[in-house]
Amino acid sequence: MNPQLDQIFFGEIDNILTRVRMDAEMERLIRVSLNADSPTGELFRWAHLTRMSCECAGGEMEAVLPGAIGMELFALALDIFDDVQDQDNDNMPWRQLPDAQAINLAICLLMLSDEAISTIPDNRLFRGVATTLHRTGICASNGQFQEFLYDGWQQVSFEQYFEMSEQKAGSLTACACRIGAILGGAEETVVNALEQFGRNLGILNQIRNDLNDFLNFFQKKDFVNNKKTLPYVYLLNTLKEEAAERFKELTQGRGEGAHRFGDKEREYVKHLTAEEGVAPYCTVMFEIYCQKAREILEGIPVPEKHKENMKRLVGENI
């Protein structure tokens, strides 16, 4: 990404924090939490996605800035809530805090997200952005609720998995793309198309993350906590007889899995994953959603040069 744009984002966050005047320690926590979960060192990926959607619609940086920062703060808040609830990603700054303080930090970020978009001068655009953020919060919360329900279920269908993934990961990327399109002054058909593009982008990224994290037993707790990721759901729905029973034995008893899941069990799951074709299946599903996203972009009636950055987002391999 462009370092000059990153500096603009940092500057806008400085302006917001100066306006609200909060405790110095809370401000420090906000600053160290921003971009902390970027696996590649990329800064402000949610703000940049919002910006790229605005540019795709023909809009300018100045118009999208409040929405881009609002989206960045909003997504960070949801990440913190998610990690606290899952007791996951122990290396993140907010996971070094007591849960009560981490939750308080996330609530503060949600309020700062509203503060960020409050500077949108056009009241109609402001309402559109605020409504998008709030409805996304409802949708993502419902998806998280579904995920917790599924943790206790022995069987989850592919349909249930993709519905949950759409509500969680899909809704967030759809939100960023919709906000960008709204602030770019796009017609409603373009706004809806970019929103749908974002939804597919979120799902394909979730598939990639699910596959990469599935065998990461030491840093991620997805498997031993019975989190119904796509590889997990695939094995639930494809294993037969003895293998199915053995898989159930390994995944029963939430909260106990880490204590009885040793080297032997990890090797068995790795073997099972390779033997049953988990990676090829996830790769096929990833490519299906990539193709859906590309087709949506192709159908958006804007100059091709405006779509270039969005196309690059679906150009990577799993």
CATH of the domain at 49: 1.10.600.10
For residue 110, being part of any structural domain is answered with yes
d(CA 54, CA 10): 19
For residue 23, being part of any structural domain is answered with: yes
Residue 318 falls inside a structural domain = no
In which domain, by residue range, is 121 found?
3-313
- For residue 161, being part of any structural domain is answered with yes
What domain count does the chain have? 1
Q: Is residue 207 part of a domain?
A: yes
- Looking at per-residue pLDDT, the higher value among 33 and 304 belongs to 33
At what angle are helices 278-299 and 304-313 packed, to 10 degrees?
A: 170
- In which band, very low, low, confident or very high, does the pLDDT at 254 lie, cut at 50, 70 and 90? very low
d(CA 307, CA 309): 6
Is residue 295 situated within a structural domain?
yes
Q: Are 136 and 174 in contact (CB under 8 A)?
A: yes
Return all residues near 226 (Cβ < 8 A) that are at least 6 apart.
151, 152, 232, 251, 254, 257
Q: Residue 217 — very low, low, confident or very high, per pLDDT cuts 50/70/90?
A: confident
Judge whether 41 lies within some domain: yes
- pLDDT of residue 315 exceeding 80, the answer is no
Write down the pLDDT at residue 86.
Answer: 86
What is each CA distance from 51 to 79, 134, 222, in whole angstroms? 20, 19, 32
Q: How far apart are CA 120 and CA 134, in angstroms?
A: 16
What pLDDT, on the 0 to 100 scale, is given for residue 247?
Answer: 86
**Per-residue pLDDT tens over the stretch 172-214:** 999 999 999 999 999 999 999 999 999 999 999 999 999 998 8
pLDDT digits (tens, 9 = 90+) for 88-146: 888 999 999 999 999 999 999 999 999 999 999 999 999 999 999 999 999 999 999 99
Q: How far apart are CA 52 and CA 161, in angstroms?
A: 29
Average pLDDT over residues 148-165: 93
pLDDT digits (tens, 9 = 90+) for 45-55: 999 999 999 99
Show Cβ contacts of residue 73 under 8 Å, excluding neighbours closer than 6 positions.
109, 110, 112, 113, 116
